[in-house]
Amino acid sequence: MKYLVDKQEKYNIIQLREEKLDSTIAPMLKSELITFNAEGVRNIVLDLSMVKYADSSGLSSILVGNRLCVNDNGILVLCAISDHVRKLLDMSKLLSVLTVLPTIEEGIEAVFLNEIENSLRRDLSEN
């Protein structure tokens, strides 16, 4: 699997450099997402701008990453998805489950908004 990682203090940006997110790539993506989570990364911006095709195994790896992030009060954001991937997410009723935004910049903003919301929740629960 070809990908780039931009590690930041509050999040990682992962740019998948593959045209297909299918059964040959999905297990490797899932493994990387699990590894990042084990390293303490709870916010991931997943740039899918190069992905033109995905199947159910690709969606499954994304769902695993989303569950790991959410369980740690983080967020997984999908950015720059193709029309095919959007249609697949729509048909699978996952657009309401996953955070999908048009650009990486908006994904980063969603990470910081999520961090602020978590901070406010902690403050309210302490008082």
Alpha carbon of residue 125 to chain centroid = 28
Give the tens place of pLDDT for each residue, 60-103: 999 999 999 999 999 999 999 999 999 999 999 999 999 999 99
Would you give the DSSP letter of residue 8? -
Nearest to residue 62, comparing CAs of 85, 35, 29?
Answer: 29
DSSP 127: -
| Ordered DSSP codes for 26-41 | HHHHHHHHHHHHHTT-
The single residue listed with the structure tokens 């048009």 is: 102
Tell me the pLDDT tens digit for each residue of 30-50. 999 999 999 999 999 999 999
Cα distances from 108 to residues 11, 24, 41, 125, in angstroms, run 8, 28, 14, 26
pTM: 0.94
Amino acid 106 reads E
Domains of the chain in start order, with CATH, are 3-126 (3.30.750.24)
